[in-house]
Structure 1
Amino acid sequence: MHGMACHFRHVTTVLRLARKDLETRHLASSDQERSTRGATPLNASTLIYSSRFFLEALRISLMDVATISLLALLVTIVVSCTIRLHVGFLAIGLAWLVGLYAGIDANQVMAGFPTRLFLTLAGVTLLFSQAQANGTLDRIARRAVLYCRGNAGVIPMMFFALAFVLASIGPGNIAATAIIAPMAMAVAGQVGIPAFLVAIMVGNGANAGSLSPIAPTGIIVNGIMADVGLVGFEWHNYLNNMVAHTVIAFGAYFLLGGMKLMRKRHTGEIEVPGNPGTEKATDWSFDRSHYVTMSVIFALIVGVIFFGINIGMGAFTGAILLSLLKVGDELKAVNLMPWRVIMMVCGVTVLISLLDETGGLALFTQLLAGMSTPDSVTAVIAFSTGFISIYSSTSGVVLPAMLPTVPGLANALGGVEPIAIASAMNVGGHLVDVSALSTLGALCMAAAPKTEDPRALFNKLMAWGLSMTIVGAAYCYLLFTVLEIGIQ
């Protein structure tokens, strides 16, 4: 707000100078005319000269590049919340238009495309789409469920753990939920577990692992933070997000009926269905293709953690190896890849890069700083990020738009660790992602048993998502501001 006020004062000053110059020239002209043949109207040269001041003021007030670029970002966010339009493509188009106005060459605009991020996301999702297509991930999940042996209270916790592990090892939160939700809801219907509790555990379990350094969202977050100078916080991001979702999910689970389920047992046989779209199986046993796939994934994880190999290039190599060994169907895997999300992230990043160049990012940072204090910033940011994320993509739109402001926001407020602000954005944005309007919530609703009232489940998940804006703000304030946990 301070920046906008300064801008308005500058425009007012220019207009005042224009008026003063006009009056001065009018008086001079009038004196000259009166000395010859009396008073006459303003001459044309005076009007033309003075109008230049007015046009300059009009240009400054209406055509400020930083403001226009920020408005382009706001349009992108609003569209992502309200219209079924690919936001990534919209962001690229808006970036080009703003660049045209600002005199920025199209090649400079295209230079903002995150090639490294694109290749990393494409490689990782290709590898794990192959693991999904050949049934490896389904078999792992099914085997784990059978270990619960009919304990109704343990089954939702097992689904949380499964979703967490699958999201952490590479597929990410959306893919993990897509794999786990159908079997989780099917089992819940057989055992008598409320679908709402299963949705909370599956969705939050997947989100708990979403910021793993080798998961797509973790790659996005760490890449953006590295681009703005926040390097070395990969495990902070992962652990802070994991702890938040674990604490809140298990707290809600036991408060909302989990304790009663702990005393309930299912004595009949539990049928665990396969995931639609993957390779069918009759006995669900592991064969050569599944062991090879698991070995390649394990080798990639070891290589990334202990030998520092590039995860994107390593994943591409692993995917090609699976194809050469005839244990992976790359065409089916390519169809399973989340291309919409990948291009959404890349498109918004192009627009954010332009904002950085035009000063729009600095203006956005000033607006955020104007709403916060050093003590309240984590709560304010967590609430704001969470509220927008209810209606928009957290990894595709919200975090790519918000995370670049972290260094400037920390400097503007003073006395705040950048990782505290970044963690508030990450946690606040993800805690709401089991709402009925989010991808994870929608996947759980789509898989719910036919005996479940869809309207009631929708309302419960919507209430959960909205309540998480407040819970997330309180959690981030307590952990990252008061206790300063996870930011050192």
Structure 2
Amino acid sequence: MSAELISILVLVAVFVVATTRSLNMGVLSFAAAFGVGTLLAGMDEDAILAGFPGDLFVVLVGVTFLFGFARVNGTTDWLVHSALRLVGGRVVLIPWVIFGVAALMTGIGAVSPAAAAILAPVALRAARNYGIDPLLMGVLLVHGTQAGSFSMISVYGTTVNAVVAREGLAGNPAVLFLASLAVNLVVAAIAFVVLGGLRLPRTDVRVPSELEPDPTSARTSAPRAETRTATDGPGGVRDPAAGDEVPGIGASTGGGGADGRSDATSGTGPSGAPRLTPARATTLASLLVLVVGALVLDLDVGLTAITLGVLLSVVWRDTGRAAVNEITWSTVLLICGVLTYVSVLETMGTIDYAGEAVGNIGVPLLAALLFCYIGGVVSAFASSVGIMGALIPLAVPFLLTGAVGPVGMVTALAVSATVVDVSPFSTNGALVLANSAGFDRDLLFRRLLIYASIVVAVAPALIWLALVVPGFG
């Protein structure tokens, strides 16, 4: 058996072990990089670590640090509450508000599971209060988190764009973002109609304050959610790939006094609703500066986010210390570990080996479709960002042949690997289940599984048809 084939089998084993044994895929990837690089490729430590994506590390840490500041001082709570108040009593709009807020959160830097963890208690309580199908609410929540996940300053977006740049492929960040937004919006609209969204009442006599999170919900009852394994059944909220607790399931962050912490007198209004404090207003302004700096002034996203977070921390020291703990270290470790191992594979020639194997299929469009289905099926059980970090480099030799457009193919791979995150075995789907108190959780689990199976079976083919077949690139 060749060294190239062994290294590919090791990559497969990393995904399997991470998914079934609740271990961080990044840790496994670092170990695999060391073992394979040393034993099979004769590489020393310097050569192995040369593939560590330092630039991407800075982006991931900076963006999640700044968003963590917003979560700790209650800025995200204020955003959610303000959006829901705009709905008034129009029940039919509540799922779409959840979709929009989720897309906004991931678009400005939240990791998808963090946004889901923040919004799931609110969304599922609103579903109970207003008689909304929990599957409908959960589906729109998850697709909302994916709709904004590929913005130019988001974690997923910066990861894919960095991988594309490192591999020397043609990329188009705007196409990537708009394609994900469009696909998830269309899928959410279809689900909304099929699951009875159009039958929801246009008005309701209850006041918007009833949409606020239940203080006994999963998000406000304990500092951290229990980490469960992939076999724990409905309600488990672990990330099967990261093997760590999901960021954002902490104590309620509705405060915002002088130091940005919870303060019953300065962080909330008379009704208990979060209000716009100086800390929150400054945080919102910082997020806006990040967007303008990255998209208009072409500033480095990671360094800009870290700088803004540091400036906020100088003024609100306690919040700054807490925000450091909000950095999604498990995700950072996962991405950096996988990309380091992929770099070892490139040095060994495994990437070229895999590309030639795909090329031997003889029908480029069929090979492209196979890549999309691999991304979709694996991501339904494992890490979406991990599979993107591995599959895109493996597809590089195939893309360099010019048989398919690289922009369309990379975009199709990325969207196929994330649109399936509604699976109850993925972190986002599990978060919906974890916050479904008051509903039949076993029934919801089965319905989520059926819905995810349909998405896995249909979405990659339609995405391939829309993005790969026309030859964008």
Instruction: Report the TM-score when normalising by structure 1.
Output: 0.83
Deviations 1:60-102 (A, max 9, x none): xx4x322222222111122123221121111111111112212
Aligned to 1:451: 438
Q: Report the alpha carbon displacement of residue 370 of structure 1 after superposing the two structures with TM.
A: 4.1
Kindly, what percent of the aligned residue pairs are identical?
A: 30
Q: Report the alpha carbon displacement of residue 234 of structure 1 after superposing the two structures with TM.
A: 1.0
**Residue type matched to 1:436 in 2?**
P
2:367 is the alignment partner of 1:428: no
Contact 2:124 2:134 in 1 (8 A): yes
Secondary structure of 1:432's partner?
coil
Aligned to 1:81: 19
Deviations 1:156-176 (A, max 9, x none): 011111111111112132222
Of the structure 1 ranges 414-423 and 250-259, higher mean CA displacement relative to structure 2 is found in: 414-423
2:340 is the alignment partner of 1:350: yes
Superposed counterparts of 1:352-431, under 5 Å: 352-371=342-361, 373-395=363-385, 397-412=386-401, 414-431=402-419
Aligned to 1:68: 6
2:457 is the alignment partner of 1:470: yes
Secondary structure of 1:184's partner?
helix
Aligned to 1:159: 98
Of the structure 1 ranges 464-473 and 82-91, higher mean CA displacement relative to structure 2 is found in: 464-473
Q: Aligned partners of 2:390 and 2:145: how far apart in 1?
A: 23
Q: Which has the larger radius of gyration?
A: 1
Aligned to 1:40: none
Q: Aligned partners of 1:464 and 1:361: how far apart in 2?
A: 34
Superposed counterparts of 1:69-218, under 5 Å: 69-101=7-39, 102-218=41-157
2:295 is the alignment partner of 1:305: yes
**Residue type matched to 1:454 in 2?**
R
Q: Report the alpha carbon displacement of residue 233 of structure 1 after superposing the two structures with TM.
A: 1.2
**Residue type matched to 1:85 in 2?**
L
Contact 1:134 1:327 in 2 (8 A): no
Of the structure 1 ranges 248-257 and 193-202, higher mean CA displacement relative to structure 2 is found in: 248-257
**Residue type matched to 2:463 in 1?**
C
Q: Report the alpha carbon displacement of residue 410 of structure 1 after superposing the two structures with TM.
A: 2.2
Q: Aligned partners of 2:276 and 2:467: how far apart in 1?
A: 44
Q: Report the alpha carbon displacement of residue 372 of structure 1 after superposing the two structures with TM.
A: 6.7
Q: Aligned partners of 1:232 and 1:365: how far apart in 2?
A: 19
Deviations 1:228-268 (A, max 9, x none): 1125411111111111111111111112211111x353212
More helix by share: 1
Secondary structure of 1:180's partner?
helix
Q: Aligned partners of 1:405 and 1:195: how far apart in 2?
A: 38
Aligned to 2:326: 336
Contact 1:163 1:180 in 2 (8 A): yes
Contact 1:390 1:435 in 2 (8 A): yes
Q: Report the alpha carbon displacement of residue 146 of structure 1 after superposing the two structures with TM.
A: 1.2
Q: Report the alpha carbon displacement of residue 394 of structure 1 after superposing the two structures with TM.
A: 0.6
Q: Report the alpha carbon displacement of residue 181 of structure 1 after superposing the two structures with TM.
A: 1.3
Instruction: Report the TM-score when normalising by structure 2.
Output: 0.85
Q: Aligned partners of 2:352 and 2:181: how far apart in 1?
A: 31
Aligned to 1:18: none
Q: Aligned partners of 2:465 and 2:51: how far apart in 1?
A: 37
Aligned to 1:240: 179
Q: Report the alpha carbon displacement of residue 482 of structure 1 after superposing the two structures with TM.
A: 4.3
Secondary structure of 1:307's partner?
coil
Q: Aligned partners of 2:55 and 2:464: how far apart in 1?
A: 34
Aligned to 1:289: 279
Secondary structure of 1:314's partner?
helix
Quickly say closer, same or farther: Cα 1:267–1:377, change in 2 above 3 A: farther
Contact 1:382 1:472 in 2 (8 A): no
Q: Report the alpha carbon displacement of residue 120 of structure 1 after superposing the two structures with TM.
A: 1.0
Q: Aligned partners of 2:366 and 2:173: how far apart in 1?
A: 24
Q: Aligned partners of 1:329 and 1:118: how far apart in 2?
A: 22
Deviations 1:23-79 (A, max 9, x none): xxxxxxxxxxxxxxxxxxxxxxxxxxxxxxxxxxxxxxx4x3222222221111221
Q: Aligned partners of 1:327 and 1:249: how far apart in 2?
A: 40
Contact 1:121 1:312 in 2 (8 A): yes
**Residue type matched to 1:354 in 2?**
V
**Residue type matched to 2:332 in 1?**
I
Contact 1:378 1:476 in 2 (8 A): no
Deviations 1:446-481 (A, max 9, x none): 122x22111111111112222212221221232124
Q: Report the alpha carbon displacement of residue 328 of structure 1 after superposing the two structures with TM.
A: 6.2
Secondary structure of 2:195's partner?
helix
Q: Aligned partners of 1:72 and 1:127: how far apart in 2?
A: 35
Contact 2:355 2:398 in 1 (8 A): yes
**Residue type matched to 1:473 in 2?**
P
Q: Report the alpha carbon displacement of residue 371 of structure 1 after superposing the two structures with TM.
A: 4.7
Q: Aligned partners of 1:478 and 1:99: how far apart in 2?
A: 38
Aligned to 2:241: none
**Residue type matched to 1:461 in 2?**
L
Contact 1:70 1:361 in 2 (8 A): no
**Residue type matched to 1:235 in 2?**
A
Secondary structure of 1:153's partner?
helix
By relative contact order (CA 8 Å, sep 6+), the higher-ranking structure is: 2
